[in-house]
Amino acid sequence: MPTARAISTAVLLSTATLLASSLTACAPADQQRDRHHGTGGTTDAQALTSLRDQSLDWKPCPAPSPAQGGGKAPAALPDGTRWQCATLRTPLDWKNPSGDAIGLALVRARSSGTPDDRIGSLLFNFGGPGGSGVATLPGLAADYEKLRTRYDLVSFDPRGVGNSAPVRCHDAGLPDEDDIDHTPDDGTAETDALVRFNRATAAACEKNSGDVLPHVGTTQAAQDLDLLRHVLGDARLHYFGISYGTELGGVYAHLFPDHVGRAVLDGVVDPTHDTMQEALAQARGFQLAFEHFATWCARQGCALGDDAEDIVKLAVALEAALDDTPLPTPDGGALDGDALIDAISGALYRQDYWPALRVGLEAAADDNADVLHDLAEALGQRGRGGAPDDDHPSNEDDAFRAITCDDSSNRYTVADVRSRLPDFLEASPLFGPGLAWSALTCDGWPVPGTAPHPEVSTPGAPPVLLVGNTGDPATPYEGAARMAERLGEKVGVELTYRGEGHGAYDSGNDCVRNAVDTYLLTGKLPAPDTICEADPLPKGK
């Protein structure tokens, strides 16, 4: 299932999306909204044949669209390889292939190897859901340069995301989300305001994107993946999924077990959880990650406390104080309790953000919000999902909500949340309340969800490499074992990374990188029960 978001829906995008340093795009977002109408009398079989026989018109990538987040066109790779973009035509509704079609934005870097060395295309999904793969892949290309020796590197904006028929929920009549308390604690007023906001957002989504909303779920995205595999000319799908991308990969394997090639799932979503269970698991995961940070901070002699317990207590007290009296920020805004949790959560996605988080918390405890504000800016936590001060917001948050609510049949009420709040507070007094109230995200959603959790069973399929991180806050480590169990006997092969942050390959750990690269490049899986240990932070950091 998609990862629940704590407090701000921008904060739990995949680590890859948070780290992308340069962006690209394919075609203007409004072009991708255009519908291509089927020819009268065309059968579904004829339509499918036409879709599979289409040719992709690869061209140099322009600058990214606002829906993808803006920025400059991607620079050439060090060997001179230019990024190429194209559009894949796919059915709006896979149950009606001869009906309207939409365009999916694609990006590609051709293989650096010889034709004899080339395996095919390696498709990436970096998570969210809602993150633009077209925007992310060029910024992370250096991480995958070894893989490019045998693969074309390919990513895409999934349906509803970026330049692929983007969902839009932002509406001039909506309340400012910054004015909504996502951890209501004053009785009914704040709770009622949160409920009104969620329902008003759902209504705005239906008003602005009603034709797309029923068709942006993961099952239809997996069908798009198989069409893309076919059009690219690959007999099997070679795939690298991170965070939510692991759910998409699992659903693909369930639907198309005979088409699974070499697949890696990193930062594995637990497919057995419903929305509330996943949120509770994340509360425990973020709490564990923050306690690890606090232990490190205390050992460094930081000014936040003498031990981890003291630092955790200070953070909880600081969140409550900022909820009552926010601190001013350099942009004329304010750091309130929700914004504090956003900044902390984002910094827990990578261990090398810990030194900045330490400095930011020390400053905030001294009534200075500037450092945490700058940290949030650097992590992309502001102006990403439709903030009123952004005339051209990306649609990441809108797509997250739409995909989450299309996938999940869970529709929780205020009473449901209140009944579970004690469990969330026990799991994490700092992150628990926000994650509990995030269960209301789909309240009032106009489209019924698919199921309580995704179906990923695929007994008899080829092996799938699952990489689990013991310190992962957003997709806790236990998810890898449960994905392996659900995929089926001898399908899921687990690799353990004893580290911090979200995911493992992106950490740069040589052991993880070597194991994953060896599998994707040669087909050789790591030995059973392989464990990779994290590299320690340098002293003084």
Which residue numbers are catalytic? 243, 472, 502
Distances (CA, A) of 5 to 2, 257, 325, 474: 9, 30, 24, 9
What separation, in Å, do the N-terminal and C-terminal C-alpha atoms of the chain show?
A: 36
Give the Å distances, CA to CA, from 384 to 205, 363, 392: 17, 25, 9
Q: Rounded CA gap, 289 and 303, in Å? A: 19
Contact 283, 435 (CB under 8 A): yes
Q: Which two tokens stand for residue 102?
A: 């939409």
Do 157 and 409 form a contact (C-beta atoms < 8 A)?
no
Sort 424 into a burial class: Cβ within 10 Å, 0-12 / 13-18 / 19+: buried
Q: b/e per residue, 392-414, with b = 16+ CB within 10 A?
A: ebbbbbbbbbbbbbbbbebbbeb
Residue 492: CB partners within 8 Å, gap ≥ 6?
Answer: 463, 464, 466, 480, 483, 484, 485, 486
| Largest Cα span, the chain | 75
Two tokens, residue 59: 């061209």
**Distance between CA atoms of residues 126 and 138, nearest Å:** 12
Prior bond to 526 cis, omega within 30?
no
> For the residues of 448-473, what is the DSSP string, one character each?
--SBSS-----TTPPPEEEEEEEE-S
Q: Do 288 and 295 touch, CB atoms closer than 8 A?
A: no
Q: Which amino acid does the sequence have at 311? A: I
What φ, ψ does residue 277 adopt, rounded to 5°? -65, -40
Instruction: Name which of 29, 85, 83 is nearest 59 in CA terms.
Output: 85
As a whole number of angstroms, the distance between CA 458 and CA 480 comes to 15
Strand 101-109 relative to strand 151-156: parallel, antiparallel, unpaired? antiparallel
Q: Rounded CA gap, 275 and 277, in Å?
A: 6
